[in-house]
Structure 1
Amino acid sequence: MRVVELFCGAGGMSLGLKQAGFEIVNAYDAWPVAVENYNRNISSHAKVTDLGDILSVVPELLRLAPDMIAGGPPCQDYSSAGRREEADNAKLTLAFAILVATVRPAWFVMENVTNAAKSSTWQEARKILKAAGYGITESKLDASRYGVPQSRRRLFVIGRQGERDGFLASSIAAAAAPQPMSLRDLFGEATPAAIYFPATSEARRSIWSPDEPAPTIRERSIRPLPVSYRPHPDDAALVENGFVYARPVRAGRGVRSIDEPYPTVTRTASERPGPKYLSSPHPADPVAASSTVVLSIDQISRVQGFPASWQWRASAKRDVLQMIANAVPAPVAFAIGRAILDREEGKSAPAIEGRFLDWLVRRGRSRQSARNVKSLAGRARRLLDGKTFSVQALELAALESVEEFKAIKRNPQSDLRQALRLLAEYQTEGQQRQKRSQIAAQPIDEELRKAA
């Protein structure tokens, strides 16, 4: 499949999609430094482009006729690290939607911070994409479950022409690892016992164990441990094989192993160690915050999913860190890319929710009959190579055109059609309930905004 990436940055998403088996034909970004690094490491097809100027981009995209458009519009207006005010950067999410709706590739992938899902800008962009005929899957993913040692949660929106909403959710969920990836998984035994990442606010901790995902990488992530730093109450200083700090009671230990019970939780359990404790720690405490190390730019780059061979070039270290922080981790893009290709090639089919079985029983079917219907619906989806349809008539017409279906006897054919009809009815009812709940919540939200 041929892909164009918008808002490509230094190329994290392109790298992952390329590794998954896609052909990246063009990429665009407004930042010359990022484009230079993209071209240095991936290919020379990235261009410096103002994607807010939609009319200047559309002709070239139409000429390229990509199978998929991917991209991560700037997230600053939605990010928890920013002001959360929807302004010019948020409008680029609309630009992305308009470009996709105009070019009409078979697929699109959009990445952003999770807060974007609640924004009015995304709701408007979503309407544009739905009007253009896309079924949409919205998944909030933790990068540490997709091959990245970092607890980075991001919204990924995947669209495909003619599909039902949520069509790829089960495949993306199935690609997640059962356990998060840790820094030790990446760096091995060379990893230090504990690592310092400057917290973004007083409410966050700064000490992290190599056995847990790192916090979201930002441009300030390699600042040295300041002399004046004092651990935050949430600084669960997990060290070596994992230790946590809790305010000691009656001169007890402040640092405990995660292999032993946590001390009784009290109203003071979240207090930070005070100056007195820091100057005179318990003799059994295994580590102090001052013993941690700082990751190098190379290490941060690998934590973000870039290979060790990646060559960063910029006049300022701040720019390198900004590029790393902005990037979509390549392993996450790879996982999503493989889910898309597997569906495109008919190697996967959407899982059928267990609640469909209960819905059938409530409608008067026996448990065994309901299981049979669910099994038939799954078989019909496999005959359709995993593709779902937003229009029931098109789904049934597509089923009729499948050679394997034509070879089936009349009665089993009828059963397969009926199973798809029932599944579509169940899904439609669920969507209607969701819409009603959203409408019912709107007046409440409006009153809350007025009260604020």
Structure 2
Amino acid sequence: MKAVDLFAGGGGFSTGAKAAGVEIVWAGNHSPLAVQYHANNHPEAIHVCQDLHQADWTSLPSHDVMLASPCCQGHTPARGKDRPYHDKQRNTAWAVVSCAEYHQEYLVVVENVVDFIKWQLYPAWLQAMNALGYAVAPHVIDAADHGVPQNRERLFLICTRSKNPLRLSLPKRPHIGIGTVIEWGKHRWSPVEKPNRSQATLKRIAAGRARFGKRFVAPYYGSGSGTTGRSIDRPIGTITTLDRWAIIDGEHMRMLQPPEVIGAMGFPADYHLPPTRREAIHLLGNAVCPPVVTDLINEIKLAA
């Protein structure tokens, strides 16, 4: 099987598909940084850096499968109040339709946040895929069910040129705690009690200690497990593009570091990332968890 990866980003879709025996022959994204590091990790593929609304689909090499992760920021509730630029982000999903119209791939797998199906134009998008001969089966998948130490629910639309939608019965693997990827003896720690530490942070840490003991994780910003923290024996909450999760170890704390985020996303430990922390976490937080894709592709092969 040969695949193209639209909105390739951090390369999780490609990495997971390769582990399932799929050859990645082309990858495209509008971000020079994303394309650079996708090319570093997947040098065998042709890489294009451009707005995929303007892509020349005739130039793509022969392939059987389209993998696509259209921009999710316009769909997620985390975006806050809806803004005009969210329309542009949501409309990236139409590139999937235009590519499928030309190439008529047998299999198209689209990943996005679960609220993608609440998009006002989702019925029209679905109708367009149906008009091209695709039966579409939505699957909501939590990465934690596939051996990733992170609770990360995402929507995967399995689009096949078949009479009926392909509904999969995916394996569910045992959950893995985030503590398995934390590098306890590495990186720079700071005292929990230090001048100017936020009272909200101290209150959160005190609550976490009462519940979990000396070692646990907690969001440093935002909501979620914000008032209680989270046990290191269970998957962490969703990794985002921002530096959000803190690790508490006794009287010291620090933020989750890129090598740990690699593990929390299910990427190989030797995966190439930008040297700057902010860029590395941004790419990882935008990525698809590779083990989910591997299980998905393997199950599709069995069902086909």
Where 2:78 maps in the other structure, the secondary structure is coil
Which structure has more helix as a fraction of its residues? 1
Task: Assess if the C-alpha contact under 8 Å between 2:16 and 2:294 holds in 1.
Answer: yes
Are 2:30 and 1:35 aligned?
no
Kept in 2, the 8 Å contact 1:137–1:158? The answer is yes
Contact kept, 8 Å, 1:199 with 1:205, in 2: the verdict is no
**1:196 counterpart = 2:196:** no
1:214 deviation in Å?
A: 0.7
Alpha-carbon distance between aligned partners in 1 of 2:228 and 2:34, rounded to the nearest angstrom: 28
Alignment of 1:366-405 (within 5 A): none
Partner SS for 2:129: helix
Report if aligned partners of 2:149, 2:177 keep a CA contact under 8 Å in 1. Answer: yes
Q: Give a deviation string over 1:344-391, Cα, whole Å, max 9, x none.
A: 3xxxxxxxxxxxxxxxxxxxxxxxxxxxxxxxxxxxxxxxxxxxxxxx
* 1:332 aligned residue: 292
The DSSP-based 3-state class of the residue aligned with 2:66 is strand
SS in 2 for 1:341: helix
- Work out the CA distance in 1 between the residues paired with 2:224 and 2:39: 39
CA distance in 2, matches of 1:17, 1:223: 28
| TM-score where L is the length of structure 2 | 0.81
Assess, with a 3 A threshold, how the Cα gap between structure 1 residues 188 and 224 changes in structure 2: closer, same or farther: closer
Distance 1:208 1:223, change over 3 A: closer
Name the aligned partner's letter for residue 50 of structure 2. T
For residue 57 of structure 1, what is the aligned residue in structure 2? 56
Check conservation: 1:139, 1:155, Cα contact below 8 A: yes
Cα shift at 1:99: 1.6
Q: Could you list the runs of 5+ residues in structure 1 that have no partner in the other structure?
A: 226-238, 240-286, 345-452
Preserved contact between residue 94 and residue 124 of structure 1 (Cα < 8 Å): no
Residue in structure 2 matched with residue 243 of structure 1 by the alignment: none
User: Within the alignment, does 1:72 sit opposite 2:69 as a pair?
Assistant: yes
Q: Which residue of 2 aligns with 1:323?
A: 283
Show the 5 A alignment for 1:161-180: 161-165=161-165, 167-169=166-168, 171-172=169-170, 175-177=171-173, 179-180=174-175
Question: How far did 1:162 drift?
Answer: 1.8
Partner of residue 300, structure 1 = 261
TM-score (structure 1 length as normaliser): 0.56
The reply to whether residue 211 of structure 1 matches residue 233 of structure 2 is yes
| C-alpha deviation, 1:291, in angstroms | 5.0
Matching residue's letter, 1:176: K
Greater CA drift, 95-104 or 208-217: 95-104
Separation of aligned partners in 1, 2:146 and 2:163: 25
SS in 1 for 2:52: coil
Q: What is the deviation of 1:224?
A: 5.7
Figure out how many residues of one structure are paired with residues of the other and give that number.
273
Amino acid corresponding to residue 182 of structure 1 in structure 2: G
Instruction: Kindly provide the CA deviation profile for residues 269-289 of structure 1, in whole angstroms up to 9, marking residues without a partner as x.
Output: xxxxxxxxxxxxxxxxxx97x
Which residue does 2:113 correspond to in 1?
A: 113
Distance 1:44 1:197, change over 3 A: farther
- Kindly provide the CA deviation profile for residues 179-207 of structure 1, in whole angstroms up to 9, marking residues without a partner as x: 43321455599898212332434884472
Compare CA radii of gyration and give the structure with the larger one: 1
1:309-348 residue CA offsets vs partner (Å, 9 max, x unmatched): 112125x43221110100001111111111122223xxxx
Does the 8 A contact of 1:14 with 1:24 survive in 2? Answer: yes
Q: 1:292 Cα shift?
A: 4.7
RMSD in angstroms over aligned alpha carbons? 2.6
Residues of 2 paired with 1:320 and 1:206: CA distance? 28
Q: Any gaps of 5 or more consecutive residues in structure 2? A: 187-213
Mapping of 1:136-147 within 5 angstroms? 136-147=136-147
How far apart, CA to CA, are the structure 2 residues paired with 1:333 and 1:215?
Answer: 19
